Structure 1
Amino acid sequence: MQQVWSVLTENHHLQQWMGNLEIVDARKNGKMHFHMLDGTDAFVDMRITDYEEPKLFAFEWDKDHVRFELQLSEASTVLTLTETLQELTAHTPKDLAGWHICLQLFEGVLQGVSEQEFPMKDWEKYYGEYMELLKEM
C-alpha cells in the first residue's frame, strides 16, 4: 500500500504519470499546482480537500472534484479514482480520456517503467469512445 501511496503523492513519482500536477502542501486544505506545460510558467492553484495518509487523497479539479482511495485487499492494494462532475461539458471526454491514460501510466510507474511517453494515439482512441458514451447521456 505504501508503494501505491508514494506513486500517488510524491512529486517525483506523481509527475511520471501526471506531469501537470505538483503537490505544494500535502495536507487537508493544502495546495497543489496544475502546470499548463505550454512553455510558460503558468499554473492553476488547486485545493487539497482531503488527505489521509496512506489511504485518501482528494482535490479540486476546476469545478469538479477528484478523489483517490486506497484499500488493502488480501495481497494487493485497490486504488479507486472518483471524479465528481458538476456538469458535462465539451471538455469532459478529454478529461476522462486523460485519466484513463494517466492510470495506465500510473501502473507503469508501479512496475518500474521509467520515462514513459504520453500515448497520444491511445488518448485519441479513448477520447472518441468517451465522446460516444457521453452522447448517450
Structure 2
Amino acid sequence: MLASITQAENGYSVRFERNLKHAVESVWSMLTDNEKLAQWFPELHVADLREGGLIKFDMQNGQFEEMAITRLKALSVLEFTWAEDIVRFELDAEPEGCRLVLIEKLTQITAHTPRDIAGWDVCLDVIEALLDGNTIASRKDVWKMKYDKYVQAFENLPQA
C-alpha cells in the first residue's frame, strides 16, 4: 500500500502506516540504536538522542548533513529536520504489537520527491523484515516498483 499524500498548510504531507507484530521497544530501537539503524539506513547516525539533539546524514563524500531533533518522546515520537522538510516517526502500542507511523512534511514537491518517498517506503519494509527475522532479496527492485507508483501518485496530485 502506498503512503497517503495530502496537501497541507505549507506544502504536502506524506503518511505511511504499518502495523507491526513487535513491541514498541523493539521498533523504537530500530529507529534510535545506531547498530540497528545502520541495518536499514546506513547513512543515518543518531549523534545526540534528545530534543534539540542531532541526527547526522553521511553524504558518502566525507561530508555530513546535520538534522536537528525537533521532538522526542521516548518510545513514542522521534521528529527531525530533513533539509527544509520534517520527518516524524510515531509509535503506538497495540494488543498485537505496535503501529508505526512515518510522516514527512514536504515544503515542496520536486523531481527527487518520488525517489525519497519510495526510499522511505522500502526502509519501512526493511525494518519490518528485520524485526521478523527476514531479509529483502533486492531492495533496489522493490524500490524501483514503488518509485514508479510514487511518480504516478505525485503526477496525479491536484495542482495548487
With structure 2 as the length reference, what TM-score do the two structures score? Answer: 0.79
Give the secondary-structure state (helix, strand or coil) at the position aligned to 2:145.
Answer: helix
Instruction: Give the drift of 1:117.
Output: 6.4
Instruction: Give the drift of 1:112.
Output: 2.9
Matches of 1:16 and 1:106, distance apart in 2 = 8
Instruction: Give the drift of 1:80.
Output: 0.6
Matches of 2:133 and 2:62, distance apart in 1 = 29
1:1-137 aligned within 5 A:
1-37=24-60, 40-113=61-134, 119-137=139-157
Gaps of 5+ in 2: 1-23
| Count of aligned positions | 134
Gaps of 5+ in 1: none
Q: Is the Cα–Cα contact under 8 Å of residues 17 and 106 in structure 1 kept in the other structure?
A: yes
Give the secondary-structure state (helix, strand or coil) at the position aligned to 1:29.
Answer: coil
- TM-superposition CA deviations, 1:38-86 (whole Å, max 9, x none): xx32211110111110111010111110000110111311111101111
**Aligned partner letter, 2:130:** V
1 or 2 for the larger relative contact order (CA 8 Å, sep ≥6)? Answer: 2
- TM-superposition CA deviations, 1:88-108 (whole Å, max 9, x none): 111110111100110011112
- TM-superposition CA deviations, 1:5-47 (whole Å, max 9, x none): 111110000111111100000000101111123xx32211110
Matches of 2:138 and 2:84, distance apart in 1 = 25
**Aligned partner letter, 2:43:** N
Q: Is the Cα–Cα contact under 8 Å of residues 13 and 109 in structure 1 kept in the other structure?
A: no
Query: % of aligned pairs identical?
Result: 36
- Which one has a larger percent strand, Structure 1 or Structure 2? 2
**Aligned partner letter, 1:121:** D
